[in-house]
Structure 1
Amino acid sequence: MVQDRSYGGQIATYTYKLSIMSNHELYLQGLEKAKQKDYAGAIANFSQVIQLMPFDAEAYLQRGLAYYDSGQILSAVSDYTEALKIDAKFVEAYYSRALARVALKNLSGALDDVERAINLRGNYAAAYNLRGIVRRKQGFIQDAIASLKQAAELYLQQKDKENCRLCLEQIKQLQPPAKVAVQPQNSITTPIISTKDYFTQLLDKAEKGDTREAIADLNWVLQADPQDAQAYCCRGVVRCKMGNYREAIADFNQALLLKFQDAIVYRNRGKARALLGDHQGAIADFNQALQMQPQDALIYVARGNVYRAMGNYLGAIQDYTQALQIKFDDAQAYYNRGIAHTLLEEMQSAVEDYQRAASIFCEQEDWDNYQQVLNSLQKIQTTYPESKKQKYNLLRQKLLRLVGGYWEIAQRLIDQKQDYYPGKPDEWYLQKVIEDLERDRGR
């Protein structure tokens, strides 16, 4: 390009440079006035810049922001649109117009703009956040949660802890209340966190088998806030679910160090310690939990299960009974007490507890646990149609009645059968003598 070295050309160049300098000064003044909330002044400055430089997309954007902040939403949308006519890849203009369209309740237009912003800049955290807001307003809750989660992750990567926290708060508000999951009947205890918040949903997710995803979510929550004691507790519960008991105990310890003094922590740490074989440590944790929540039936069931594992069946039965005094329809307590009665060979009591547990599970339509109880009941009835001791006593009493209460007579008859049929069980000889007496008397 040939330079114009004439006097007139030099004057024109000088005038152009002055114009650029003047525009820059006006632009900076506009920014300062907007910062001071002098929106009318800012709009005036940006209008002068646009008059002098009609293809300045940034000036349109800034004037649009001033219009938006002053409540002139339609004028703001108009300026953002002009900016995009000049620069079709102006990400901030798409995002700003999306915000304005949300204010105007034009949700489809807002979603279109925010999608364009995300397509142009994949790590635009604010755009994902806004997308979550729009989808929530449109009623697509799961999509909203996914967008807010993406925003939180991006804010975390950008070390913007406050905005990450705000996204998590929005997610908590959107989560529906979690249903209480039925726990396996032989577990020493069950995870306890029942607050209607984000952590509840993570536990529910883990209970359904999505433990890796739940751990990933909790890891980035703790990256955002390493002092979140409840997150450590929640991660400990999930790690228990995964079988990582030592790591779970470390998380529960950290929660306690951060002053999260809650029965939840002691109860779940007790579970982990019990599963590692530290029965005394587990009992200590359950005792601590019961001091804090003496009316929690599940803690009694948990401690009862540890007593049972230690061979203290009477202690276990006492705890299960205490649990049932607090919660009379606790099927798990009935089932576990039935197991303890079985171990003590108190078969009639075991059968009664199993039948009660089966009835409750049936009413709850918990068919897996219902079938498990029926299997246990069938095993007792097959292996022990009656307790051996109980059966022997019943036969003995029947024989006594047949011989008029004189056991010496009964014993002679038994001895005779033993001579004829050596090596038979005691119950067999009693039954044989009874059959002979009843036959002789025509019964």
Structure 2
Amino acid sequence: MNAEEFFNQAVTKFGEGDVFGAIADFGQSISLNPNLAPIYYELGKTCYHGRDYQGAIENFDRAIQVNPEFADAYYMRGSVRYSQGDHQRAIEDFTHYINLHPDIANAYYIRGASRSYVGDNQGAVADFTEVIRLNPSDNNYYNRGVTQYLLGNYQGAIEDLTEAINLNENFADAYYNRGNSRYDLGDEQGAFYDYSQAQRIDGAEGNIDSKDEHGCYGRGIARSRLGDFKGAIEDLRNSLRICSYQRNMAFYKEVDRVLRQLQQHNI
């Protein structure tokens, strides 16, 4: 068999789920022709699916060395690096990919997520803006809205999260995060509404998790500022009920402190 035949056989074996057989055949193909970038690329994908992440990166490296314009090799290497938490080098890979293919939404999304992980939220917003240009979905507005919030651009966050809600009226996380933005802008009535909507949706879907304890706390503080101390106390008690003391001791103590103050105020 020649290099191309081993390559085709390897692709077939990989498609059938025979990862180790595919790796062996790719190796045979490379031994016969070490200068074909697609062989290294496919071997890298096979290693990745076999959870040999270092082997995957090494083979994507070789594919790029043979063909520096091999866009998909940059994309896959960046994806592996992203999954392994190597966000700075993932950013570099997706930048190479985007330079070669500037209209692929998911490339901007992963680069934006990596930028957010390394603290470059301005860069993340720019990438999420490109994602929205290419695919204006509820999740993409949500991602940009959350990043806007991290930058302190609460009004921009509200606008994006409102778009997400307009596209998906049952998007609980969008309500919750819009509530945070409204709360920080001093719009207690709007925050109360959003936290209530988030909890209504989560309750209907049977979801109770860490955001609900913070949502109850935020709604409680909003209620206290609106003068509804009885409702505020109820929300803070629910926050303590949901919160795990061991998992979030500092938050639990803060909620308990505020609750005691409200209870004394309400006597």
Fold similarity call, TM over 0.5:
yes
Are 2:187 and 1:312 aligned?
A: yes
From the superposition, tell whether residues 385 and 287 of structure 1 become closer, same or farther in structure 2 (CA, over 3 Å): closer
Q: Partners of 1:266 and 1:109 in 2: how far apart?
A: 41
Are 2:50 and 1:141 aligned?
A: yes
Alignment of 1:423-434 (within 5 A): none
Alignment of 1:94-105 (within 5 A): none
Alignment of 1:194-233 (within 5 A): 205=83, 210-233=86-109
Aligned partner letter, 2:102: P
How far residue 314 of structure 1 moved from its aligned partner, in angstroms, is 1.8
Q: Partners of 2:10 and 2:162 in 1: how far apart?
A: 58
Select which of 221, 224, 247 maps to 2:123.
247
Q: Partners of 2:239 and 2:7 in 1: how far apart?
A: 57
From the superposition, tell whether residues 351 and 241 of structure 1 become closer, same or farther in structure 2 (CA, over 3 Å): farther
**Higher alpha-carbon deviation: 233-242 or 319-328:** 233-242
> How many residues matched?
252
Matched residue, 1:261: 136
Matched residue, 2:263: 386
Are 2:235 and 1:339 aligned?
A: no
Aligned partner letter, 2:253: N
Are 2:235 and 1:353 aligned?
A: yes
Q: CA RMSD in A?
A: 4.1
CA contact (8 A) 1:338 1:349 kept: no
How far residue 367 of structure 1 moved from its aligned partner, in angstroms, is 4.8
Q: Partners of 2:202 and 2:191 in 1: how far apart?
A: 16
Alignment of 1:368-387 (within 5 A): 368-369=247-248, 371-381=249-259, 384=261, 386-387=263-264
Q: Partners of 1:126 and 1:225 in 2: how far apart?
A: 18
From the superposition, tell whether residues 360 and 130 of structure 1 become closer, same or farther in structure 2 (CA, over 3 Å): same
How far residue 251 of structure 1 moved from its aligned partner, in angstroms, is 1.2
Report percent identity of matched pairs: 22
Are 2:164 and 1:289 aligned?
A: yes
1:15-65: CA deviations, max 9, x gaps? Answer: xxxxxxxxxxxxxxxxxxxxxxxxxxxxxxxxxxxxxxxxxxxxxxxxx44
Aligned partner letter, 2:162: N
How far residue 116 of structure 1 moved from its aligned partner, in angstroms, is 10
Higher RCO, Cα 8 Å, sep 6+: 2
Alignment of 1:26-175 (within 5 A): 64-65=1-2, 111=24, 114=27, 117=30, 125-129=37-41, 131-132=43-44, 141-143=50-52, 145-156=53-64, 158=67, 159-161=69-71, 164=73, 168=76
CA contact (8 A) 1:338 1:351 kept: no
Q: Partners of 1:110 and 1:249 in 2: how far apart?
A: 40
How far residue 246 of structure 1 moved from its aligned partner, in angstroms, is 1.8
CA contact (8 A) 1:304 1:320 kept: yes
Q: Partners of 1:233 and 1:109 in 2: how far apart?
A: 31
How far residue 338 of structure 1 moved from its aligned partner, in angstroms, is 1.8
Matched residue, 1:43: none
> Which structure: larger Rg?
1
From the superposition, tell whether residues 146 and 217 of structure 1 become closer, same or farther in structure 2 (CA, over 3 Å): farther
